[in-house]
Chain A
Amino acid sequence: MIEREARFEFQNFFIRYGTIFALFLITVFFSMTAKGFVEIANILNILRQISLLTIISEGFTMCLLIGEIDLSFAQIASLASVISADLMLKGWNPLISVLLSLSVGPLIGLGNGVLVTKIGIPALITTLATGMITGGTVYMYTKGISLYGNMPMSFLNIGRGNIGPLPILVLIMFLFVSLLQIVVNKTKFGKYMRATGENPIAAWLAGINIESYKRLGFILSGSGAAITGVLLTARLGAASPEGATGFLMDGFATALLGQTVFGIGKPTPFGTFIGALIVGTLNNGMTLLGAPYYIQDITKGIIIILSVSATSLQKKKIERR
């Protein structure tokens, strides 16, 4: 019987800290096997590599928070990316170009939100369609050609420069994560979004305007995507119509992993950051080991199933009570 209790504790530990433990194991594994993995330069490199993924996934996390889903964020990032590149190549003022291209995020997000809340189309269908429309627009806008050339240094610096030892992209990422973490935990907007996602009917009967908080979730998701798109252009000094499409799968993986971090299956900005660290560390370590990309995909898939199973088992238990 004592044995049984001990096992129970062990199980709890895994459910609560399993994801962080997985990150720890992955780190230990690569530090022993991959040469150069633990060097400070490489750690900064990992952080810079995950900065864009983190930002786009954080936006998507806000959509998960209100209990909806967004399939359009990668396309929104592509659109913001090509608009910013195009305007600057045409010689527009960098600040105006950035602001204009950022605005597509909240706009398309608002569109998603209105279609879901006012017309009642399920989010999966809405965002699949608006994602396709946005993706098509990107091709129409660029005629399928990558955009590159001379962009202002002030703009490129955002993507490439450092402040002290830290890349600016990493600073923006930390800023974004902290900001959302505060919004979710310390403001009424965060509590209302969470309540809306957990139980829309109870939230509505408690006097919360659930429709506007749903729209806010979509707007934040679109905004995170547009920011990511603009930063992508700044980092590459170019924009391609396909540039951000890879963020869809990795963004989902990151946010879903992130939900497991505190063991309760709830979306949190900090959790999503841990999710991005896991995905980024895996990508980096396996590249250092020289693993082919398909092995990377397979490994990521397995890690997702393992960490999500822990919390899903926990959820199952709760539902049976």
Chain B
Amino acid sequence: MIILKTENLSKEFPGVLALDNVNFDLEEGEIHGIVGENGAGKSTLVKILAGVFPPTRGKIYLYGKELHSHSPRELINIIGFVDQERELIPSFTVIENLFLGNEIVQGGFLKNRELQEKAKTFLKNYNVNLDLLALTRNLSPGQQQMLTIMKVLFRKPKIIIFDEPTASLSVKEIEIFNRLIEELRASKVSIIYISHRLSEVLSFANRITVLRNGKKVVTVRANEVSEKDLIRYMIAKDIHEQYPKIKKEIGDKIFEVKNYANKKYGFNNINFYIKSGEIVGFAGLVGSGRTELAKLIFTGDRNSVGKIIFLSKEFIPKGPKDSINKGIVMIPEKRREEGIILGMSVKDNLALPYLDILSIGGFLKEQAINKRSLFLINSFNIKLASPLQLVYTLSGGNQQKVSVAKWLGERKINLWIFDEPTQGIDVETKTEIYLFMENLAKNGAGVWFISSDLNELLAISDRIYVMNKHKIVGEFSPPYNREMILSKMLGG
């Protein structure tokens, strides 16, 4: 039985047709995967279904009845939506977030004991282990994601929409999540499932709908297609190599960290090096300290001890500005919060790190700025209507390109730190970013590459360090032993 159906659904944002006449249906008890590149319209489609915003044209039928204008409030008990951006209140405890809008009250007072009992049994049912009284802001990204999922499940919706649910989950949490999906399937809940991880979609879904440029390409049965087929549907042209490799020469050590420690952040006896022309991967679980270590070294911290050698000189990190001037840049993991300035134009974002050079006596050299931004937009293939467009209007992959491209210029940069550069972005853009990293290394820079996607890490890195609980617990060279790396990552 079809419980949710759309007819010629379209959505226009100023200047963009984000969704173009999409016909989509969802059967009862099915898991329906939606895949496509960034900007293909996946999030737009599910946001309309969840009532986040109305469609520009087209109809939606729920249980055969046409939905007119609706808002998330009206449908919250029928359609649950686990958004990409976790909608939790950081200063609330786990239990407060879990029950938000659903509190058990008597005469206006919360019945705390009853709430706690209920929460405990509920979480236990799904094998989720969360400290009910912990502040949400102290949870890891993965735990926050699990809490978001629990919050949605708590309302027992008939339809659940997951938008990239596993992007921030650790390996263990993914296991719990997988079991949870199977339980939901068994209890006849219908699921719409968006993910960039195609293998995941293939293993869960009954049917898969592929979107491209806002249009539906095809809806297929999952057991009749392969990952390659899906990729072919998603992008217009065939890609021969998802993980390109360029021949490059590995030179001398350009960056070395000796006996680094930072008590405040729990680092002790950290030793590693990066050579010129080398891409060095950092593997580890979420929370293993990879991002913190890179950030501490890039931004500097008074509590740090140990020796860092960069370009044969001692390097004492004083802050981002100093590091950048000496030739180190970092592309942060949270691109929307840290990598780009959402409310400024693409042109301004691209110019920001180079305004010192692109101005005389403080006055901007408009021509030079325009020329450089056009060059970057073209060479990075950033898709936009105009360089004056605010950067938040771009798709995730294009935002990431801005976050990376802005560093290219006259300044000599010898060490590039990439923190999860491909998280949540489409296959084609991923390949472009790998290629960019390869080219940086080929030109003699060192690349420090943090990633939770083991496939790309093994394919791209020339050497890999594994981190676990704020320690470097292993160093690997190709050919990689995947099982060994995994066991080091997970090792207690």
Q: Is the CB of A207 within 8 A of B364?
A: no
Contact of B353 among A4, A189, A206, A317 (CB under 8 A): A206
Q: Is the CB of A205 within 8 A of B56?
A: no
Q: Is the CB of B362 within 8 A of A187?
A: yes
Please report which residues of chain A, range 185-200, place their CB below 8 angstroms from some CB of chain B when the two chains form the complex.
186-189, 191-192, 194-195, 198-199
Q: Is the CB of A198 within 8 A of B321?
A: no
Residue of B nearest to A204 (CB): B320
Q: Is the CB of A198 within 8 A of B57?
A: no
Q: How many residues of A contact B (CB 8 A)?
A: 29
The minimal Cβ–Cβ distance linking B69 to chain A, given in whole angstroms, is 11
Q: Which residues of B contact A266 (CB under 8 A)?
A: 343
Is B200 in the interface zone, CB < 8 Å from A?
no
Is A38 in the interface zone, CB < 8 Å from B?
no
CA A132 to CA B14, docked complex, whole Å: 47
Please report which residues of chain A, range 208-230, place their CB below 8 angstroms from some CB of chain B when the two chains form the complex.
208-209
Question: Given the known A-B contacts A12-B14, A320-B52, are A195 and B321 also in contact in the complex, defined by CB atoms under 8 Å?
Answer: no
Q: Which residues of A contact B319 (CB under 8 A)?
A: 204
Q: Is the CB of B56 within 8 A of A188?
A: no
Q: Is the CB of A192 within 8 A of B340?
A: no
Q: Is the CB of B337 within 8 A of A191?
A: no
Q: Is the CB of B362 within 8 A of A188?
A: yes
Q: Is the CB of B56 within 8 A of A202?
A: no
- Bits for B306-336, please: 1 = Cβ < 8 Å to A, else 0: 0000000000000111011100001010000
Is A119 in the interface zone, CB < 8 Å from B?
no
The minimal Cβ–Cβ distance linking B257 to chain A, given in whole angstroms, is 20
Is B13 in the interface zone, CB < 8 Å from A?
yes
Q: Which residues of A contact B477 (CB under 8 A)?
A: none
Q: Which residues of B contact A264 (CB under 8 A)?
A: 343
Question: Given the known A-B contacts A186-B364, A191-B355, A318-B392, are A199 and B337 also in contact in the complex, defined by CB atoms under 8 Å?
Answer: yes
Please report which residues of chain A, range 286-321, place their CB below 8 angstroms from some CB of chain B when the two chains form the complex.
317-318, 320-321
Contact of B56 among A4, A186, A317, A320 (CB under 8 A): A4
Q: Which residues of B contact A202 (CB under 8 A)?
A: 337-341
Q: Is the CB of B337 within 8 A of A206?
A: no
Q: Which residues of A contact B57 (CB under 8 A)?
A: 1
Q: Is the CB of B340 within 8 A of A208?
A: no
Residue of A nearest to B324 (CB): A207
Q: How many residues of B contact A (CB 8 A)?
A: 38
Is B408 in the interface zone, CB < 8 Å from A?
no
Among B230-238, B344-352, B462-470, the one that faces the other chain is B344-352
Is B91 in the interface zone, CB < 8 Å from A?
no
Is B406 in the interface zone, CB < 8 Å from A?
yes
Q: Which residues of A contact B259 (CB under 8 A)?
A: none
Residue of A nearest to B348 (CB): A191
Is A34 in the interface zone, CB < 8 Å from B?
no
Is B381 in the interface zone, CB < 8 Å from A?
no
Q: Is the CB of B359 within 8 A of A188?
A: yes
Is B53 in the interface zone, CB < 8 Å from A?
yes
Q: Is the CB of A189 within 8 A of B362?
A: yes
Q: Is the CB of B348 within 8 A of A207?
A: no
Question: Given the known A-B contacts A207-B324, A207-B325, are A187 and B364 also in contact in the complex, defined by CB atoms under 8 Å?
Answer: yes
The minimal Cβ–Cβ distance linking B66 to chain A, given in whole angstroms, is 15
Q: Is the CB of B343 within 8 A of A187?
A: no
Residue of A nearest to B393 (CB): A321
Q: Is the CB of A199 within 8 A of B342?
A: yes
Question: Given the known A-B contacts A206-B320, A207-B320, A207-B321, are A191 and B338 also in contact in the complex, defined by CB atoms under 8 Å?
Answer: no
Is B363 in the interface zone, CB < 8 Å from A?
yes
Is A129 in the interface zone, CB < 8 Å from B?
no
Q: Is the CB of B363 within 8 A of A203?
A: no
Q: Is the CB of A205 within 8 A of B359?
A: no
CA A266 to CA B323, docked complex, whole Å: 31
Name B's A-contacting residues (CB within 8 A). 13-14, 52-53, 56-57, 298-299, 319-321, 323-325, 330, 332, 337-344, 348, 351-353, 355-356, 358-359, 362-364, 366, 392, 406
Give 24 CB contacts A-B under 8 Å.
A1-B57, A12-B14, A187-B362, A187-B364, A188-B364, A191-B348, A191-B355, A191-B364, A192-B355, A194-B348, A195-B341, A195-B344, A195-B352, A198-B341, A198-B344, A199-B342, A201-B337, A202-B337, A202-B338, A206-B320, A206-B353, A206-B406, A208-B321, A264-B343
A-B contacts besides A194-B348, A207-B325, A321-B392, 15 pairs, CB < 8 Å? A186-B363, A188-B356, A189-B362, A191-B351, A191-B364, A198-B342, A199-B338, A201-B338, A202-B338, A202-B340, A205-B299, A205-B339, A206-B353, A207-B324, A321-B53
Top 5 closest pairs, chain A to chain B, by CB: A188-B355, A207-B324, A207-B321, A187-B362, A188-B359
